């Protein structure tokens, strides 16, 4: 029997996971468990490129793990772990930084964007962030990586570094490909619908997965549309309405044409309430399971410990091979 292909995905525990994260990623993760070998990393080390409140960061890590469990992921099937619990991430990142060129890092647009937003803290970690991301992926010999448009550069760097290393030392790393999900889509900002919904933007631009129903309805009622008052899918001319139509279509499992037909002539108020109903009904059971998992500290500790051991077992094999290839002395400790 042919082994399953491995999928790796990492998400930072900063901010709050949004409806966009759910539709574009988490909703699909459960569907992948039986078909792929899934590795989901909560990349807390990446979060350190921005100054963090230590207590808040630890709490945020547990929140993300609880949300992963709440959407239905089975920790025995999907590997859900904290990046910082596996020291090989940092070790491989240093080795790969010696095979990454300055010119490649200088071209990273995210470094330029984040530097502009954090002008008082333009640190070396922010600059070498893509190398650690490459280490995250290559450490687990991932075949596929789910990415958005803003991560294409990082995946390309991972591929380039893997190919460069393999050219020198032989078949060490799997060269990863992008994974394009069969279902789901890109959810846009509620206030700037030409931009992707992002947890780093102001709170009124996104719906958080843990938002109360009243907050969800309020945000959607205030969502930007247009003056035409017509429910029609036209992303270029009607980005706000088209975004809401996509959300409703995905969550209700109906086509965009069916959405247009159902709400033709009913006005934006009725339409926005329908979108709010769909979002609230989708997130309510997830929020209920989240509260149960997040309050069970003993269970979370068990998942953390077991997952860290499993992740390190994989990472250690890769790192042992890398050490041999580059000439680092072996240890028997």
**Catalytic residue list:** 114, 196, 199
- Which helix (H) or strand (E) segment holds residue 281: the answer is helix 267-295
Which residues in the chain belong to E strands, given as ranges?
A: 6-11, 37-42, 79-82, 144-146, 177-179
What's the CA gap between 309 and 233, in Å, rounded? 48
Q: Write the CA distances from 181 to 6, 7, 27, 204, 323, integer angstroms.
A: 14, 12, 10, 27, 35
DSSP per-residue codes, 194-259:
TSB--TTS-GGGS-BTT--HHHHHHHHHT----SS------TTT-HHHHHHHHHHHHHHT--HHHH
Hunting for tokens 């075949």 — which residue is that? 143
What is the residue whose two structure tokens read 């984040």?
A: 114
């Amino acid at each position: 029997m042919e082994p399953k292909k491995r999928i790796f995905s990492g998400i930072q525990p900063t901010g709050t996971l949004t409806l966009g994260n759910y539709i574009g990623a988490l909703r699909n993760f459960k569907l992948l468990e039986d078909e792929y070998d899934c590795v989901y990393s909560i990349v807390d080390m990446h979060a350190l490129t921005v100054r963090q409140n230590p207590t808040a960061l630890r709490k945020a890590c547990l929140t993300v793990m609880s949300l992963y469990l709440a959407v239905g992921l089975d920790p025995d099937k999907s590997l859900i772990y904290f990046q910082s619990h596996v020291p090989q991430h940092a070790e491989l990142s240093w080795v790969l930084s010696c095979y990454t060129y300055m010119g490649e890092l200088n071209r990273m647009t995210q470094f330029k964007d984040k530097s502009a937003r954090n002008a008082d803290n333009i640190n070396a970690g922010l600059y070498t962030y893509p190398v650690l991301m490459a280490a995250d992926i290559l450490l687990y010999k991932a075949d596929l990586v789910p990415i958005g448009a803003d991560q294409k550069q990082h995946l390309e760097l991972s591929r380039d570094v893997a190919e460069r290393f393999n050219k020198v030392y032989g078949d060490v790393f799997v060269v990863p490909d992008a994974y394009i999900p069969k279902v789901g889509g890109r959810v846009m900002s509620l206030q700037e619908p030409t931009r992707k919904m992002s947890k780093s933007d102001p709170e009124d631009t996104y719906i958080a997965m843990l938002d109360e129903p009243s907050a969800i309805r309020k945000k959607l009622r205030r969502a930007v549309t247009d003056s035409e008052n017509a429910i029609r899918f036209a992303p270029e001319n009607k980005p706000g309405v088209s975004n809401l139509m996509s959300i409703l279509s995905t969550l209700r499992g109906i086509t965009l044409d069916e959405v247009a037909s159902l709400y033709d002539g009913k006005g934006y108020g009725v339409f926005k309430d329908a979108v709010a109903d769909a979002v609230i009904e989708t997130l309510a059971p997830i929020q209920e399971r989240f509260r149960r998992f997040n309050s069970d500290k003993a269970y979370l500790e068990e998942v953390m410990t077991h997952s860290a051991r499993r992740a390190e077992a994989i990472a250690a094999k890769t790192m042992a091979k890398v050490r041999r290839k580059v000439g680092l002395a072996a240890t028997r400790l």
